[in-house]
């Protein structure tokens, strides 16, 4: 069964637009996690960025303490965030590239150029019982490097596929994802995917083998504005229910 990790960062984005700098405010990130859990989500994803533009430290602690779902903490390989993760102990961390000026995460990690630093962080996480995923483009050299780092997972960046789908010519990007997933599995890596996935394009990922989990945020939160979060999560679960590896 293909799992769904609901990214609730943009619940915090809405809250921070009005209540930034306060310890309260709405909408409540923890409530979003609880609703997603009740709707059938398999995990919760949150990105604690260095600039704290949406998710705050208290959100990470609250979600960790109050939900039973698998917690995926997206993070840069930055010392402050690494130390935070080692204290919180999420089930898994997904290490991503991060730039202050970007609106959302752009591109995948250059694991091949950073493999030694990433290997050190991977070892520290694993020693604390935390699995490690690396957010990468479906590129052969990056997949090889991820295996060398010793990560348990890679998360394939589906942004190029999502953009190509929007433009009406997605076949090449879909094949890149499929080839990357096959290569990763042969190297002993488990495979997740995410970025730019929505209710329309996600169905095409049935052609990508070996996927364990999809991490989807913006589309679900956008849909929730009109139908509510419970329904939005259930609709996405319905959209991926026919996946067979």
Token pair 């130390």: residue: 83
* Catalytically annotated residue among 10, 157, 170, 195: 195
Catalytic residue among 10, 37, 42, 74: 74
Both tokens of residue 245? 């590896």
Q: Check: CB of residue 223 under 8 Å from CB of residue 202.
A: no
* Residue 195 annotated as catalytic: yes
Q: Give 96-102's long-range contacts (Cβ < 8 A, gap of 24+).
A: 96/47, 96/135, 97/135, 98/49, 98/50, 100/50, 100/51
CB 138 within 8 A of CB 176: yes
- Out of 42, 47, 54, 170, pick the active-site residue: 47
* SS3 state at 172: helix
Q: Is 213 a catalytic residue?
A: no
Q: 74 an active-site residue?
A: yes
Tokens of 60: 């990470």
Cβ count within 10 A of residue 63: 24
| Cβ–Cβ < 8 Å for 125, 166 | no
Cis peptide before 27 (omega within 30 of 0): yes
Max alpha carbon distance in the chain (Å)? 48
Catalytic residues: 47, 74, 195
């Amino acid at each position: 069964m293909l799992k769904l990790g609901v990214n609730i960062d943009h619940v915090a984005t809405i809250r921070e637009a009005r209540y930034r700098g306060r310890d309260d405010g709405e909408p409540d990130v923890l409530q979003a996690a609880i609703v997603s859990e009740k709707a059938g989500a398999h995990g919760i994803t949150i990105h604690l960025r260095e600039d704290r533009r949406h998710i705050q430290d208290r959100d990470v602690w609250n979600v960790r303490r109050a939900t039973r779902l698998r917690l995926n903490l997206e993070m840069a390989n930055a010392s402050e965030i690494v130390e935070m993760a080692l204290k919180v102990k999420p089930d898994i961390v997904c290490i991503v590239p991060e730039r202050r000026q970007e609106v959302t995460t752009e591109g995948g990690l250059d694991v091949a150029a950073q493999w030694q630093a990433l290997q050190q962080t991977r070892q520290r996480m694993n020693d604390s019982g935390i699995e490690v995923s690396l957010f990468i483009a479906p590129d052969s050299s990056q997949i090889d490097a991820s295996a060398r780092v010793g990560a348990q997972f890679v998360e394939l960046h589906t942004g190029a596929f999502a953009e190509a789908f929007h433009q009406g010519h997605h076949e090449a990007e879909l094949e890149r994802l499929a080839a990357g997933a096959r290569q990763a599995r042969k190297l002993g890596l488990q495979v997740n995917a995410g970025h730019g996935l929505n209710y329309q394009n996600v169905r095409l990922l049935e052609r990508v083998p070996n996927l364990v989990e999809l991490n989807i945020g913006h589309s679900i939160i956008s849909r929730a504005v009109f139908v509510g979060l419970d329904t939005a999560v259930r609709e996405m679960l319905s959209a991926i229910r026919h996946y067979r590896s």
